[in-house]
Chains A and B, each alone.
Chain A
């Protein structure tokens, strides 16, 4: 049984990759958009400088992994559910976990593909310098950032039909990015919006990333990344509950 489920998992992963390669129009925008935005805001804008590129490396890293996570799950799952593919899956001997697991693995692969060009630009074009351990830590954090967004994507995928999922995913994706301070620093927001930003996982993850790169905090307040991590953990648990609820609901 164990070998069977592993085997199924590997095959599912391969199939997902093949799907992306054969229909690249789904995944390409989510890979290109973040690095294009990063290049625009970190280099093309006047007065950006190294400190700007450093700041944005942290936030655009989070932005980069959001795309594959929310769209891969939100739209992907909704599509497959619409076409009855999920029902077939449930009837097949492959366990549900290998289906979800493969989707997570492929999301991680695409998330890292979205991160690579941003890291290369930051390191070799903007000359951003970090301790080796901090580069690893930052990358680890950015990969970990996939988790809450996968859960959001899953919830959306289970809750909406394929057309609805596209629309809602977009709103959630853009909202998380803009209001979470991933495009422009949250300290530029008016005070009520800043408070709202703190309720978004994108903002909390960005704060941890900013602490790792040592970006200055414009409010003068000290960053306490452990606190942000706790908040993210709680958010993730809530989102997991939400995803399970949505999964149960769509099955009934």
Chain B
């Protein structure tokens, strides 16, 4: 009996085990397992090593690190091999000037930017970045180095984004300020030095100099945001390590150039954002590039379509290009940085554009590639990336064609490897925009008896509600209510009581008309958005939301006074808006903090 139990058990078990081991998925079952893991070989490919091009190279990558490379490399049998004929392998690109918010690190990697040098973000963004960039694990995100929050004066550049940052005013505060940033995880210090600007405070020279000294004493680089030659000269005299923009107010003087070269500083010209300020609409070029658009998210497209809107004082793009070229000729290290996500730029794609702009400034294509690979790695002291050589990590961008012949070929990204793992470039699904239903009524709200929109709109699911930045962890607050006396005296209006408080980048509080599920509706037929409004005088914002977008919505500003007035905004001036995907709109106070009470009536779309 006991014997039987044993025999039955053992037979059943062994039978099942053999069955299982024969049905578990194996290498031969699947084509797609090529490039599983992060060990492989690349053969017969053109390699840009960070400095020079090499034809017909082969590489062996083991566990995400290059272990062998050269013209004659024996590829072991059975090792998965990537055939690189007619392609160019570049080091994963390094963007020397970005700001990391939302999915920025993901967006970067989709265009082969494997490392970001952030120049101002919230301190909590820095959490865990060091662990991640030291590992060689599979990831969908670029690695991050960051300045954390920037050094600035109360009311200076950097304080306008709506979240409180620690400012400083006196030189003796510098050392402790730097120590706190390093404790938060900042890899280097960025300070804003913009003296003499009418409506913007700035650190004074003594405080800025003390910050530089404190940074050096505590073992980190210090870089500066400047916008004029005079400010750049001050920073150079104070032993700055790098400038994160080129100045565009006047041509660089001979003395400045010679001194910058002798001091061995680096400059990140950020020509893409300069071109955007100059009104060249660099984002429009990217949106028109069919190698780029399939991989952009809706939020990225919005950012690229946006512009700065206002002309800047002391600014000339030609001077920026010329200064870049002169400093480069004199031997000053030029690093490619996009300054994404400023209006007209985006993470990833804009760095390719920056390389093209550097070529326009007078760099050769190889020098531009160098500025986006080994130059930033050298400037920031990173040894494991930016170059293709034995021992560096397998961060690659594989380009179809030779960008040495034409830098714009860098957009033709065929493959991306991060830590040796192939990165899946996901084409953004083109939403079926033609099928979205038309908005049922152009009158979005008349508020005669209550806050409900007209019945046909309500039937489509639209409703009026309060909106504030609490959904983005901000601290602003909005309440809406119905009042009986509206602008037309015949019916009521919608009243908003808004408290805008710092806590989110762009704080807002106001009224929202929208579809709860953000379902897309077509408003192509309409040319204007108009409404009547009165309340606490100040600048307010109208925003339009589109379905499936998470980024900053396209918006326009307008003034409110104590008296009723009709505001008419052109729909096409909501830059980047896709009118086929309308999901809602908001009329809000912010980003300036304060208490705002205002009333809205007769919200209408016009033809």
- Chain A residues with CB under 8 Å of chain B are 7, 10-15, 17-18, 47, 49-52, 54, 105, 109, 112-113, 116, 119-120, 123-124, 127-132, 135-136, 139, 214, 216-218, 220, 222
Contacts and interface: CB of A to CB of B under 8 A. Distances in A.
Given A13-B6, A14-B6, A220-B63, A135 B21 contact: yes
A51 B6 contact: no
B77 interface: no
Given A123-B24, A139-B17, A218-B135, A129 B30 contact: yes
B303 to A, nearest CB: 26
A123 B25 CA distance: 6
B9 interface: yes
Given A132-B26, A216-B37, A218-B136, A139 B21 contact: yes
A112 B17 contact: yes
B424 to A, nearest CB: 12
Most interface-central of B26, B33, B65 (chain A CB within 10 A): B26
Contacts of A217: 63
Interface string B3-22: 11111011001001100111
Given A10-B2, A50-B138, A109-B13, 15 more contacts: A11-B2, A11-B3, A14-B2, A50-B36, A109-B10, A123-B24, A127-B25, A129-B27, A130-B25, A130-B26, A135-B24, A214-B37, A214-B39, A218-B135, A222-B62
A116 B24 CA distance: 11
A56 to B, nearest CB: 13
A7 B3 contact: yes
B48 interface: no
A39 to B, nearest CB: 17
B513 interface: no
17 contacts: A10-B6, A13-B10, A17-B6, A47-B137, A49-B138, A50-B138, A51-B421, A124-B24, A128-B25, A129-B29, A129-B33, A130-B24, A130-B25, A131-B28, A135-B26, A139-B21, A216-B39
Contacts of A116: 16-17, 20
Contacts of B64: 216
A129 B22 CA distance: 12
Contacts of A105: 10
Contacts of B2: 10-15, 18
Given A130-B27, A216-B63, A109 B37 contact: no
Most interface-central of B6, B23, B37, B62 (chain A CB within 10 A): B6
Nearest to A10: B3
A10 B9 CA distance: 12
Contacts of A113: 13
B1 interface: yes
A17 B9 contact: yes
